[in-house]
């Protein structure tokens, strides 16, 4: 790929973003840093950057193949990707199939309860506010996205859920819930950020073992092993 990595634009909790010689492209570097609870808990998960880069690339290619527009252009190496330059929409879209985490706390459904219908939620991407739950009215008042853009986000989120749920079932993984982020590129809303054990809850279909970041959040141990297991089930690759 002929594009050159230039100066850093931004450092997030899990990734760094760099400009490139092409104004339409960014260069992303995945880090091993792990945070939870809006950055209040900090740690490192060995090789997380490599694992999440590979896992995200795998999912984004799968989704592109099914007609979902994503920011992915190319995986460059173990930790880096070149992506389309986007302006991130400051709304995190969460899709839930089974009650867990903050949903269980908020509405009192025990973790593991199958939801009779898919739940879609929006959170305001603002660490200082603790990423609060918001609705369409809040999104308009804060001018975070237009109603048309939110319609696209919701449609893509539900399609991603259908595709990944079925795909993961085959790999003996239950997709409990996940978070997506979107970006605007040349006026089009596309899938951005990552899809990884940091941003999804994955449970083994049979044992119900957690294979995601809850192992870090809840100090369950074998965190790196869980991320490796996900990569292995998706691509057969061991690192
Ligand atoms: P929650 O139950 O804590 O609200 O999380 C729902 C899903 O969203 C879960 O799969 C983890 C993911 N998530 C993130 O990716 N980033 C976040 O900041 C939070 C709170 C959740
Ligand atoms: N809150 C996110 C999590 O629990 C990450 C973070 O805020 O740093 O996964």
Q: Which CATH number fits domain 87-222: 3.30.470.20, 3.10.400.10, 3.40.1350.10, 3.90.550.10?
A: 3.30.470.20
pLDDT of amino acid 104? 98
Give the pLDDT band (50/70/90) at residue 72: very high
Summarised one tens digit per residue, pLDDT across range 157-173 is 999 999 999 999 999 99
pLDDT tops 90 at residue 31: yes
β-strands 80-84, 87-88: how paired? Answer: unpaired
Q: Which one of the ligands is nearest to 195 CA?
A: 1
Question: 82: Cβ–Cβ under 8 A, 6 or more apart, which residues?
Answer: 1, 3, 20, 25, 26, 27, 28, 73, 74, 76
Judge whether residue 38 has pLDDT over 90. Answer: no
Could you tell me the distance, in angstroms and rounded to a whole number, from the CA of residue 193 to the centre of ligand 1? 14
Ligand nearest to C-alpha 178: 1
CA of 103, closest atom in ligand 1: 2
Residues 6+ apart with CB under 8 A from 78: 49, 50, 53, 54
Q: Determine the residue of 100, 130, 177, 217 to mutate for testing ligand 1's pocket, defined as the one with the most ligand atoms within 8 A of the Cβ atom.
A: 177
For the segment 64-86, the average pLDDT, to the nearest whole number, is 98
Taking the CA of residue 177 as reference, the ligand 1 atom at the shortest distance is 10
Give which of 81, 52, 99, 102 is closest to 203, Cα–Cα: 99
Helices 48-65, 147-170: crossing angle, 10 deg rounding? 100
Tokens, residue 224: 């790196």
Q: CA Rg, the chain, in Å? A: 17
Distances (CA, A) of 191 to 71, 92, 110: 6, 11, 31
pLDDT of res. 112: 98
Q: Is the CB of 103 under 6 A from ligand 1?
A: yes
> What's the mean per-residue pLDDT of the chain?
98
Q: Which ligand is nearest to the CA of 43?
A: 2
DSSP 78: S
pLDDT for 98: 99
pLDDT class of 154 with cuts at 50, 70, 90 = very high
Distance CA 200, CA 202 (A): 6
Q: Which residues have any ligand 2 atom within 6 Å of their CB?
A: 13, 35-39, 213, 217
- Give CA torsion, residues 97, 100, 102, 106, to 10 deg: 90
Q: What is the pLDDT of residues 177-229, one digit of tens each?
A: 999 999 999 999 999 999 999 999 999 999 999 999 999 999 999 999 999 99
Q: What is the pLDDT of residues 89-122, one digit of tens each?
A: 999 999 999 999 999 999 999 999 999 999 999 9
Q: Is 200 in the pocket of ligand 1 (CB under 6 A)?
A: yes
- Is the pLDDT confidence value at 19 over 90? yes
Calpha distance 212→174 (Å, rounded): 11
pTM: 0.98
User: What does the domain layout of the chain look like in residue ranges?
Assistant: 5-84, 87-222
| Closest protein CA for atom 7 of ligand 1 | 178
Architecture of the domain spanning 5-84:
2-Layer Sandwich (3.30)
Band of pLDDT at residue 64, cut at 50, 70 and 90? very high
| Confidence at residue 6, expressed as pLDDT on a 0 to 100 scale | 98
Ligand 2, atom 3, lies closest to the CA of 36
- State residue 91 phi and psi, 5-degree precision: -125, 120
> What per-residue confidence (pLDDT) applies to 219?
98
Q: Which residues of 210-236 are buried (b: 16+ CB within 10 A; e: fewer)?
A: bbbbbbbbeeeeebbebbbbbbebbee
CA–CA separation, 50 and 65 (whole Å):
23
For residues 10-20, average pLDDT: 97
Residue 1 scores a pLDDT above 90: no
For ligand 2, atom 5, which residue shows the shortest CA distance?
36
Dist. CA 72–CA 85, nearest whole Å: 10
Q: What is the pLDDT of residues 2-13, one digit of tens each?
A: 999 999 999 999
pLDDT at residue 121, rounded to an integer: 99
Q: Is 101 in the pocket of ligand 1 (CB under 6 A)?
A: yes
Q: CA-to-CA distance for 183 and 71, rounded, in angstroms?
A: 8
Q: Is the CB of 35 under 6 A from ligand 1?
A: no
């Amino acid at each position: 790929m002929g594009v050159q990595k230039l100066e850093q634009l931004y450092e997030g909790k899990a990734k760094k973003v760099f400009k490139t010689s092409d104004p339409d492209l960014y260069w992303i570097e995945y880090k091993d840093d792990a945070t939870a609870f809006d950055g209040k808990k900090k740690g490192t998960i060995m090789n997380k950057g490599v694992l999440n880069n590979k896992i995200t690339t795998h999912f984004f290619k799968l989704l592109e193949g099914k007609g979902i527009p994503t920011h992915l252009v190319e995986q460059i190496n173990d930790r880096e990707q070149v992506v389309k330059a986007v302006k991130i929409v400051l709304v995190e879209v969460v899709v839930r199939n089974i009650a867990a985490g903050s949903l269980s706390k908020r509405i009192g459904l025990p973790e593991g309860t199958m939801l009779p219908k898919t739940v879609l939620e929006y959170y305001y991407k603002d660490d200082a506010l603790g990423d609060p739950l918001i609705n369409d009215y809040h999104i308009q008042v804060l001018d975070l996205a237009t109603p048309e853009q939110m319609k696209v986000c919701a449609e893509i989120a539900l399609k991603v859920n259908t595709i990944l749920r079925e795909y993961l079932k085959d790999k003996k993984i239950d997709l409990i819930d996940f978070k997506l982020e979107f970006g605007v590129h040349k006026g089009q809303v596309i899938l951005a950020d990552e899809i990884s054990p940091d941003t999804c809850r994955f449970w083994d279909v049979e044992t119900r073992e957690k294979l995601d970041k809850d192992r870090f959040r809840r100090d369950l141990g074998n965190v790196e092993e869980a991320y490796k297991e996900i990569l292995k089930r998706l691509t057969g690759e061991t690192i």
